[in-house]
Amino acid sequence: MNSEKIIKELNQFLTLDLKQQSYMDILKYHKKYLKIKEQVSNGKKCLKVAVIGSKSIQLFVKVLELMAFQKGYVLDIYEGEYDGITSEVFDEHSQLYAFAPQYVLLLTHYSDIRTYPSLLSTQDEIKNWVQQQMNYYHTLWHNLNRLHCVILQSYFVTPIVRQLDQLEASVPYSQENALRLLNQKMMEEKESYVHMIDLDYIASYIGKRNWFDERNYYLNKAGFSYDYLPLVVSYYLSRLFSLEGIVKKCVVLDLDNTLWGGVIGDDGYEGINLNPNDAIGEAFLAFQDYLLSLKERGVILAVCSKNEEDIAKEGFTKNEFMRLSLDDISCFMANWNDKASNIKKIAEFLNIGIDSLVFVDDNPAEREIVKTFLPEVTVIDLPDDPALYVRSLNEAMCFDWHALTPEDVTRAKTYQENLKRLELEQSFVDYASYLQSLEMRGYVGEVNDHEVDRFIQLSNKSNQFNLRTVRLSEADVECMRNDPHYKLLYVTLSDCFSQYGIISCIILHKQDEICFIENWLMSCRVLKRGVENFAFYEVLNIAKAWGCKTLVGEYIATKKNKMVKDFYSQLGFEKIDDNRYQIDVNTNQDVKIYIKKGE
């Protein structure tokens, strides 16, 4: 078969949701992928990933490779030896260290633990047992940390076979409880560069009767049924992609038969079904409650509906059972234009990438249009039954962010406040007096423990205002914080409407007389406020204090960061080559700044 035909077949297969495909099909296409890997790798992002585990991982690795490729990543994979966790991690001369992976995927199994608390153990003995196990993992993590890699490790799945039957859940010394305590301890004590994959959740989701496959265990040393390989891989990849900055931020919602039963244009605001005493009405209410819970954790809600705007809004303002209010919706788009164009407008309005949107609509025709014209949008194939809407959106695991920050929890509020700010802006004749009226306060500080999570999150999520798009792992940050030649700066902003928290990150690198700006990025929520000029002033001060003579910045173009193409020129830097710019540290800034210094 010629390679063009293989590529075509492969691409066809990759349009499917692979976690729902059989592992046999994935392996079949993985074989095809290997044949044309060289040809299709060009221009793709590459990652070095090691997979280690005590059980067989050979098939896991193949499924992983193809599923990563589906999302545009070509993996260079190190496949650990069978039962290799201890031997490879604790031997610094092992091939694992020579390979130097960026990510280490660790698959654990309850049989990794050789001894469990004996029956009738006391609380203290059990506590000691947990600590002993933790010591092993702490040492393991510290060893791996020499590679400055990110570790994705599974929690233990508690076994289906129980020595003590129901008593397992009621006595502290049972194997089940011991493993639960260990999982709990792991959550409490894990290092910042360790991310846990909740394998026990996946196993319960599947049902442990199906999850465990004894025949496969004895024949192939598989830790769980191969039927669930694609699902397990999808959980690991979901976390990995989130660390790589591929995240969804906003749900775009249809209205009729998505948020409520019926068609508001025909039935009127009192006729749509949100009746708490009706099974269908209740299902729609539950979906709205779920959306509110997403909003609470920082997911932006937007509406995109084919309706008259006034009538559509009556559903929110006049129906007595409606759970969502207009204030919960950061962008409301109701008109008769096609949805693909409207979705583009929503992304523009919210200042986020189209690829960070999730589209929810009960109408398969609308979904097809969005899939065709905006393939970067995640489209949820809602089931016909509204009772299953919540589950369907949740199972898509769109918002599997790797951390939750205070900025996430206040985000929806900020978008609302932005609308008020917009009103204020329009009431001023000139922009300067508007900025003045905002009473902005800003602060530039060095990253401490408290700011690390947000610093990494913002570094990995920002695409547009991002000069070099340097993605960071916890280990990278740890390393730079301990190096006196680096300074990691964060910028906070508040105004009369809201506290934004950390909205900008800058990394400076002292290279003798040059202070190199390793990266400079900012959240698009605070564009055109003078934050960059405010921060620049502090950057110059640091460079001077370091004894540097010149400040050098670089712009590395990506598909998304055209916005800051002329950033350094605008700050007064002169161009030294294609991408790099420099400026004397004693330059005088004569830009008026409307941000006052303050915490």
Cβ at position 59, least distance to another protein in Å: 7
The sign of the torsion formed by the CA atoms of 170, 175, 176, 181 equals positive
Cβ at position 87, least distance to another protein in Å: 21
Cβ at position 221, least distance to another protein in Å: 10
Amino acid identity of 18? L
Closest by CA position to 440, among listed 360, 326, 337, 530: 530
Cβ at position 217, least distance to another protein in Å: 10
Does 27 sit near another protein (CB under 8 A)? yes
| Piece of the chain touching another protein by CB under 8 A; list 26-34, 437-445, 520-528, 535-543 | 26-34
**Total number of residues that touch another protein (CB under 8 A):** 14
Q: With respect to another protein, which residue has the nearer C-beta, 61 or 68?
A: 61
Q: With respect to another protein, which residue has the nearer C-beta, 25 or 368?
A: 25
Does 31 sit near another protein (CB under 8 A)? yes
Does 87 sit near another protein (CB under 8 A)? no
Q: With respect to another protein, which residue has the nearer C-beta, 28 or 162?
A: 28
Return the bridge partners of 507, or none.
488, 519
Return the bridge partners of 505, or none.
490, 521
Radius of gyration of the chain (CA): 27
Q: With respect to another protein, which residue has the nearer C-beta, 218 or 336?
A: 218
Does 13 sit near another protein (CB under 8 A)? no
Q: Of residues 218, 266, 277, 578, which one binds another protein by CB under 8 A?
A: 218
- Residues 6 or more apart in contact with residue 387 via CB below 8 angstroms: 279, 283
| Piece of the chain touching another protein by CB under 8 A; list 18-26, 147-155, 440-448, 554-562 | 18-26
Q: Of residues 11, 20, 22, 589, which one binds another protein by CB under 8 A?
A: 22
State the Cα–Cα distance between residues 449 and 481, nearest whole angstrom: 10
Does 83 sit near another protein (CB under 8 A)? no
Residue listed under structure tokens 């951390």: 403
Cβ at position 225, least distance to another protein in Å: 10
Q: With respect to another protein, which residue has the nearer C-beta, 160 or 171?
A: 160
Cβ at position 86, least distance to another protein in Å: 24
Could you give the 3-state DSSP secondary structure of residue 256? strand
Q: With respect to another protein, which residue has the nearer C-beta, 27 or 40?
A: 27
Instruction: Give the 3-state secondary structure of 185-222.
Output: HHHHHCCCCEEEECHHHHHHHHCHHHHCCHHHHHHHCC
Give the CA-trace dihedral at 474, 480, 482, 485, to 10 degrees: 180
**Under rule CB under 8 A, which residues in 197-216 are in contact with another protein?**
214-215
Q: With respect to another protein, which residue has the nearer C-beta, 214 or 395?
A: 214
Q: With respect to another protein, which residue has the nearer C-beta, 215 or 559?
A: 215
Beta strands in 365-453, from DSSP E residues, in sequence order = 378-381, 440-446
State the Cα–Cα distance between residues 581 and 577, nearest whole angstrom: 7
| Piece of the chain touching another protein by CB under 8 A; list 20-28, 63-71, 473-481, 511-519 | 20-28
Q: With respect to another protein, which residue has the nearer C-beta, 58 or 586?
A: 58
Q: Of residues 18, 59, 304, 357, which one binds another protein by CB under 8 A?
A: 59
Q: Of residues 7, 21, 28, 363, which one binds another protein by CB under 8 A?
A: 28
Q: Of residues 12, 20, 58, 589, which one binds another protein by CB under 8 A?
A: 58
State the Cα–Cα distance between residues 65 and 77, nearest whole angstrom: 8
State the Cα–Cα distance between residues 101 and 55, nearest whole angstrom: 20
For strand 440-446 and strand 378-381, is the pairing parallel, antiparallel, or unpaired?
Answer: unpaired
Q: With respect to another protein, which residue has the nearer C-beta, 125 or 214?
A: 214
Task: Tell me the two tokens of residue 199.
Answer: 């394998």
Does 226 sit near another protein (CB under 8 A)? yes
Angle of the 474-481 helix axis to the 452-461 helix axis, nearest 10: 120
Question: Phi, psi (5° rounding) for residue 194?
Answer: -105, 130
Distance of CA 575 to the CA centre of its chain: 35
Q: What residue spans of 431-530 are helical by DSSP H?
A: 431-437, 452-461, 474-481
Contact footprint for another protein (CB under 8 A) = 22-24, 27-28, 31, 58-59, 214-215, 218-220, 226
